[in-house]
Amino acid sequence: MARIVTLIGGSGFLGEYIAKELLKKGYLVRIASRNPDNAIVVKTAGLGVGQVGVMQCNVRFPETVERAVKDSWAVINLVGILCEKGKQNFADVQALGAETVAKACANAGVERLIHISALGVDTATKSHYARTKLNGEKAVFASFPDATIIRPSVIFGAEDHFVNMFAGALRWLPMFPLFGGGKTKFQPVYVNDIAKAIPLILENPKYKQKIFELAGRDVLSLKQIIEFIRNYTRKFCLLIPVPFALGKLLALPMKLLPKPPITVDQLVLLQYDNVVESPSNLTFSTLGITPQKFETIVPKYLERLKQA
């Protein structure tokens, strides 16, 4: 009988790619999401009748998580937020929510649990986002010791919220702020590389109780990333260095907006490099995966924005 893998928060960008990779491997995939209607792309990707199931789940409500993980062989928790809004706050979603999922998995007899965290959460100590992510990791290992933690760097791909956000802004703005001079370093990782890593991690028990740091091949500064996007799309936009202190003052009133373009906490996070630094954690090389290059993949989906 095919094994069930449940993706908590699986209707988003990364979840879609992971689900499709698991479907190729013959798993039954269950998408558990606050917004199950968003999983329509995954649901129609099933290779066989009944291979994909969708249900409502909110990590702030334990009973919905318990229903979601029932009868699962493995669970992947992808839940995370970049900006707090109403009851969706960092502590409840990324720390307490992670604990709720881990406890439900332990009680349900789930064999494998993968928790998706973020690269750099152990070093960006002044960021509320990072602290709650790290607290979530600790809660997962406390409640489900055999879990595997994955810390990806910023993720890029055709439907990403990283490259596309910058490309959209550069398209319309005459000037673009480079907070901290754009010196923050990243190792952008291709979404499909992460998706390919998931089955390899799930199917090898030696990766229990381990932390993977999954990052791309290239270390790029924020300025280099933005310049690459600007130059490739042939958009003229003046890049203006803005000190972090001034940026935080500008971000303060933006918190009143429904979708603030930048928050104070995000600026705090930008003060830390987002690169693989811990030699004790596992990487793509452990799995025999060579990450795709940023400059090879990104042009494929920026072509539509390129000026003639």
pLDDT in tens, 100-119: 999 999 999 999 999 999 99
Helices marked H in 212-292: 222-233, 244-251, 264-269, 284-287
pLDDT at 16 over 90: yes
Contacts 24+ apart (CB under 8 A), 21-29: 21/195, 21/196, 21/198, 21/199, 22/198, 22/199, 23/47, 23/51, 23/52, 25/199, 26/2, 27/2, 27/3, 27/199, 28/2, 28/3, 28/4, 28/52, 28/53, 29/4, 29/5, 29/53
pLDDT band at 257 (very low <50, low <70, confident <90, very high): confident
C-alpha to C-alpha distance for 277 and 173, rounded to whole angstroms: 35
Assess whether pLDDT exceeds 60 at residue 253: yes
E strands within the chain?
A: 4-8, 28-33, 52-56, 74-77, 112-116, 148-152, 155-156, 175-179, 185-186, 189-190, 211-214, 220-221, 238-242
Higher pLDDT, 1 or 262: 262
pLDDT of residue 308: 41
The pLDDT, as a whole number, for residue 86 is: 86
pLDDT of residue 41: 66
**Stretch 280-297: mean pLDDT, rounded?**
96
* 3-class DSSP assignment, residue 275: coil
Check whether 254 has a pLDDT greater than 50.
yes
Instruction: Report the mean per-residue pLDDT for the chain.
Output: 94
Let me know: does 17 contact 41? Beta carbons within 8 Å: no
Tell me the pairing of strands 220-221 and 185-186: antiparallel
Q: What average pLDDT does this structure show over 131-156? A: 99
**Half-sphere exposure of residue 249: CA atoms within 13 angstroms, side-chain side:** 4
Q: Is the dihedral of CA 169, 174, 178, 183 positive or negative?
A: positive
- Please give the structure tokens belonging to residue 38: 């968003």
DSSP string, 175-193: EEEEEGGG--EE--EEHHH
Indicate the range of 42-46, 79-83, 135-139, 162-166 predicted with least confidence: 42-46
At residue 10, the 3 state secondary structure works out as coil
Burial class (CB in 10 A: 0-12, 13-18, 19+), 35: exposed
Residue located via tokens 């999954």:
214
Instruction: Give pLDDT, residue 48.
Output: 63
pTM (2 d.p.) = 0.95
- Using a 10 angstrom Cβ sphere, with 0-12 exposed, 13-18 middle and 19 or more buried, the burial of residue 219 is middle
DSSP secondary-structure letter at 206? Answer: G
Higher pLDDT, 307 or 187: 187
Domains of the chain: 4-160+187-218+275-291 (3.40.50.720)
Q: For residues 2 and 61, which has the higher predicted lDDT (pLDDT)?
A: 61
Rounded (10°) CA dihedral 209, 10, 200, 100: 10
